[in-house]
Structure 1
Amino acid sequence: MKGHIFRRGCTCKRKKKCICGAKWAFVVDIGKDPLTGKRKQKTKSGFPSHEEAEAAATTLIYELSQGTYVEETDQTFNDFSKEWLTIYSESKEVKPGTIRVRLHEIGKLLPYFAQLKLKDITRKMYQDALNDLKDQGYSDSTRDGINQTGRMIFRKALELEVIKKDPTEFAYVKKDKKTIEQLEEEEVPKYLEKEELALFLETAKNYGLELDYLVFLILSYTGIRVGELVALKWKDIDFLNHTISITKTYYNPNNNTKNYQLVTPKTKKSRLKIVVDEMVISALQEHKEVQKKLMEQVGDVYYNKDFIFAKMERQHGYPIVIKTVQNRMARLLALAQELTPHSLRHTHTSLLAEAGVSLEQIMDRLGHTDDQITKNVYLHVTEEMKKEASQKFAELMRSLR
């Protein structure tokens, strides 16, 4: 492997001692150009001494001999992040919503690194960026997401041999330590007690607008997500075996009725077949008859794509948008606006826990592999049950005196 060390730009020709202050450099053969067959060389200068230039050249030669040499590019973070996003979206089954999140997270890193070369971004620079985001008030979860996206970008750059070192390797998201009081008061998501749920469903049945009762009945009795509900089609209902299959979810960030997408569920575990009560099946059958009459009435105007929760007035047949479900619940719960349609998913969890269903079975029914919020609801309900059992035992013992 050929190479040599020299003073770059030295003007002290044929003099024993350099007095012009030229720095040391090296040039090393690094192989052949695959297109021309000509030899390729790597030159690096700026070394203050012959020894340092020699050491750097030796390191390069060693990397070449071991097959670990990486010729870093001058690609900027901004340019490579665009390239990465394309690779990311094409290499796996990624939903449009996830792409939007990744774009948002890249946008938070751009002010720090946009025009910097990837190879020039150091571990300290990356860690300082994460720390600055905390100082700006971004939440732990938001910074976790930004860091996750940053890691994926730099790891792909490392894999493609665009850089030698990953600046995110030892990075961490700085978080404030929770006090004992905060740990003891771990937030439990809002949900309805069974009496409140019964009253809510009764209100939806008597005072709800079109589809309200069926929407909230299914959300309550299955615990599925609103996007999964809106995407349901009649082929997903097994009237004989009383099951509902979850195979897709609805995506429409702009709430444009006609401009929607059906995408895969949130996770693989979210693909479910849920057994439901006879009451749910009966309500679905009744709605199917109503929908059938509407289709006969409007004829070809009906957008017939088999949707269960299809619009009954304007734009007949198109699936209702998620915003509609949120607005309808706000209307029915005017006195409890902190609740959302997702609260019914937590309500379903709490009622299953109260019925004695194990946490593992609940998470399986909801399509979770590991979800802290579900665990918090479950633990809250079971703790209350333990307290009640303790009180009943104490009352029993007192009655024996």
Structure 2
Amino acid sequence: MAIFKQYTKKDGSKAWLLQAYLGVDEVTGKEVRTTRRGFKSKKEAQLKLNELVLEFESKGLEKQSKTTFKDVYKLWFDNYKNTVKESTSMTTERFFNQVILPVFKDIYMDKIDVKFCQKVVNKWAEEYSSYRLLIGYTKKVFQYATHINVISDSPFDKIIRPTKKEKKKKDKIKFYDTDQLKIFLEYLEQKVLNAKDKTLIQEYYAELDLALFRLLAFSGMRVGEALALNYSDINFEDNTITINKNLSQTKQGYEVSTTKTKNSNRIISMDKKTLVTLKKWHLTQRKLLLKNGYNNNKKLFVNVKAQYMTRNEIYQRSNRIADACNLHRIGCHGFRHTHASILLESGESFKGIQERLGHSDISLTLNVYSHLTNKSKEKTAQRFANYVNF
């Protein structure tokens, strides 16, 4: 679609101009229109139009060379966020905003070469334990850029992924041994007893701490799985808990969604003392919520306003309790590691631990917990000797 017009220049001479629609820019999604002047004849203007159309089809009027990393990222992320959970897209967006975009955002895509990318990933490997994720996310943007013809090939396909940061992440796993866990839980039990003579809110949170942290330690479930539990998920007759939900954060607040992986949907057996603790907690919870005008017949763990507890709130409560007990801090996920490590020490198989924790692949269980088997190995010879008894 083009318009050709003859016009009069300031010096009184005649010339031709063209106004044309060339198409839609694949990168920006916007219509591309152009106006050119100064042609001696209509034929000359028509020839120029043919040249512009050919140039646009092959190079997009060189828009690609003016496309920044941030331009491509925005297009990629708009598609990506519709393919994952909102909590996942929020985490991805945070990686980009805090680390990746500050490095790449205003650089034109065709100016980013392998040498520059290699320097970046080497630096990430020095500074971030999650550098593999950073590389993976950045690579997706470059691959998308090749898909929409902004660049011909991705420099991230040619980098060498550093291994320098392969420091034993396993050594950094935080957990309690049996003696430390006993100290932690006994402190909470005493706190519940002391709270009986105090306010109902103090009693409420004392029993909540005991119920929640005992459940985490004795079930091995993820904190999001625990916070998403309903009372209907607990079978007090069969001593089991059904885990099929996860509480995740969104920009609007929190939402209950399916569990992390397919294998995370599971029914696990529980000890009777933990279930009794949950029953006592339920009674205290109902008493205070009804007194304050809230009706909660569904959620297992809520605050005094019948709202879901946040992960950060649980994390901070865990730290305060650890400090009060003179124990090291293990956060929330540390109770999952505690459960696994104690199971290993008791002689449970990796397969059994995989099923209980809801790992999708036993290799994940092996990678995370194989280094915790030293005590079990030390007992192996003695168990054999005790069994044969000669």
Q: What TM-score, normalized by structure 2, do the two folds share?
A: 0.71
Distance in 1 of aligned mates of 2:302 and 2:104 = 46
How is 1:84-163 mapped onto 2 (pairs within 5 angstroms)? 84-90=76-82, 92-105=83-96, 107-134=98-125, 137-139=126-128, 141-163=129-151
Q: Which amino acid aligns with 1:197?
A: L
CA pair 278-338 structure 1, distance change in 2 beyond 3 A? closer
How is 1:176-195 mapped onto 2 (pairs within 5 angstroms)? 176=164, 187=171, 189-195=173-179
What does the per-residue CA deviation read over 1:161-191, in whole Å, with 9 as the maximum and x for residues that have no partner?
333212211223323287xxx77x9616232
Partner of 1:29: none
Q: Which amino acid aligns with 1:330?
A: N
CA pair 386-259 structure 1, distance change in 2 beyond 3 A? closer
Q: Which amino acid aligns with 2:285?
A: Q
Deviation at 1:95, TM superposition (A): 3.2
Q: Which runs of 5+ in 2 are unaligned?
A: 1-21, 25-30, 34-48, 193-205
Deviation at 1:96, TM superposition (A): 2.2
2:330 is the counterpart of 1:339 = yes
2:181 is the counterpart of 1:197 = yes
Greater Cα offset, 238-247 or 149-158: 238-247
What does the per-residue CA deviation read over 1:118-156, in whole Å, with 9 as the maximum and x for residues that have no partner?
23432233223223444xx412x3321211111111222
Q: Which of 233, 237, 248 is the equivalent residue of 1:236? A: 233
Percent identity for Structure 1 against Structure 2: 27
Residues 70 and 163, structure 1, Cα contact 8 Å, conserved in 2: no
Deviation at 1:372, TM superposition (A): 7.5
Q: Which of 275, 278, 282 is the equivalent residue of 1:288? A: 282
Q: Which of 234, 240, 244 is the equivalent residue of 1:247? A: 244
Q: Which amino acid aligns with 1:175?
A: T
Q: Which amino acid aligns with 2:332?
A: P
CA pair 186-292 structure 1, distance change in 2 beyond 3 A? closer
Aligned pairs, how many? 328
Residues 245 and 272, structure 1, Cα contact 8 Å, conserved in 2: yes
Q: Which of 202, 209, 214 is the equivalent residue of 2:211? A: 214
2:296 is the counterpart of 1:311 = no
CA pair 236-124 structure 1, distance change in 2 beyond 3 A? same
Residues 188 and 373, structure 1, Cα contact 8 Å, conserved in 2: no
Secondary structure of the 2:171 match is coil
Residues 249 and 263, structure 1, Cα contact 8 Å, conserved in 2: yes
Taking only aligned residues, the RMSD between alpha carbons, in angstroms, comes to: 3.7
Distance in 2 of aligned mates of 1:303 and 1:395 = 56
What does the per-residue CA deviation read over 1:352-390, in whole Å, with 9 as the maximum and x for residues that have no partner?
212322112212211223588853664344332222334
Distance in 2 of aligned mates of 1:330 and 1:111 = 33
Partner of 2:343: 352
What does the per-residue CA deviation read over 1:321-349, in whole Å, with 9 as the maximum and x for residues that have no partner?
22332233333322123322322111110
What does the per-residue CA deviation read over 1:9-67, in whole Å, with 9 as the maximum and x for residues that have no partner?
xxxxxxxxxxxxxxxxxxxxxxx97999x9675459xxxxxxxxxxxxxxxxxxx9xxx
Residues 77 and 118, structure 1, Cα contact 8 Å, conserved in 2: yes
Q: Which amino acid aligns with 2:99?
A: K
Q: What TM-score, normalized by structure 1, do the two folds share?
A: 0.69
Distance in 2 of aligned mates of 1:240 and 1:83 = 53
CA pair 189-291 structure 1, distance change in 2 beyond 3 A? same
Deviation at 1:107, TM superposition (A): 4.4
2:273 is the counterpart of 1:279 = yes
Secondary structure of the 1:197 match is helix
Deviation at 1:213, TM superposition (A): 1.1
Q: Which of 350, 356, 365 is the equivalent residue of 2:356? A: 365
CA pair 128-361 structure 1, distance change in 2 beyond 3 A? same
Distance in 2 of aligned mates of 1:76 and 1:159 = 15
Greater Cα offset, 388-397 or 275-284: 388-397
Q: Which amino acid aligns with 2:221?
A: I
Q: Which amino acid aligns with 2:154?
A: D
Distance in 2 of aligned mates of 1:272 and 1:395 = 35
Q: Which runs of 5+ in 1 are unaligned?
A: 1-31, 45-63
Q: Which of 247, 252, 260 is the equivalent residue of 1:266? A: 260
How is 1:9-28 mapped onto 2 (pairs within 5 angstroms)? none
The structure carrying a bigger helix percent of its residues is 2
Partner of 2:318: 329
Distance in 1 of aligned mates of 2:315 and 2:363 = 24
Distance in 2 of aligned mates of 1:147 and 1:88 = 16
